[in-house]
């Protein structure tokens, strides 16, 4: 039987609540969630890695990840672009999550446009479900997806946080 995946968790204060940051031994980000949704995050970890497939222990600023995320909240929004991530999930989910990382900060897209970008224009609902099951919010920026009319639609951390994240990125986006 293979060894359990060793995961480290830290908690950081942000302007919109306490954030949990989960990394693996190699420095890949595995999960991000708000402490008021800790049960959901733990359920996702069990779903992705199995009940006995991982251990989760506390570690201050694992691989510098907490400091990197703090920089994002301080206005250095591009710092998240190169954060290494590793996720489980289906091939389709990972395809959607990869495309989320290509959405420029400060320029949200609709679910329909996201579906078209992965060459599956009729898979709007499936894209929405994959977006909603993303374990690495902020870094894999599911908050950048909006309704077809530009309205704010579902965000696992709540619409107030989604609004704040979008405003934060629009305020700090580079205008090249």
Alpha-carbon distance of 102 to 33, in angstroms, equals 21
Tokens of 109: 């897209």
142 is catalytic: yes
Q: Where are the alpha helices (DSSP H) in the chain?
A: 38-49, 65-73, 91-100, 111-117, 124-132, 159-172
The residue annotated as part of the active site, out of 5, 56, 115, 142, is 142
Burial tier of 1 (Cβ tally within 10 Å: 0-12, 13-18, 19+): exposed
Other beta carbons within 10 Å of 67:
12
Residue 105: closest CA among 164, 169, 176: 169
What are the residue numbers of the active site?
142
């Amino acid at each position: 039987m293979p060894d359990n995946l060793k995961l480290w968790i830290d908690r950081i204060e942000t302007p919109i609540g306490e954030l949990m940051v989960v990394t693996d031994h190699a420095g890949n980000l595995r999960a991000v969630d708000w402490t008021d949704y800790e049960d959901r995050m733990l359920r996702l970890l069990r779903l992705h890695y199995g009940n006995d497939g991982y251990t989760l222990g506390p570690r201050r600023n694992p691989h510098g990840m907490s400091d990197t995320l703090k920089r994002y909240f301080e206005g250095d929004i591009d710092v998240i672009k190169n954060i290494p991530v590793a996720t489980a999930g289906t091939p389709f989910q990972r395809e959607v999550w990869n495309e989320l990382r290509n959405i420029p900060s400060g320029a949200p897209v609709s679910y329909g446009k996201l579906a078209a970008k992965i060459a599956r224009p009729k898979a709007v609902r499936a894209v929405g479900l994959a977006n909603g099951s993303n374990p690495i919010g902020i870094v894999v920026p599911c908050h950048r997806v909006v309704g077809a009319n530009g309205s704010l639609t579902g965000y696992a951390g709540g619409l107030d946080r989604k609004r704040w994240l979008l405003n934060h990125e629009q305020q700090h986006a580079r205008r090249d």
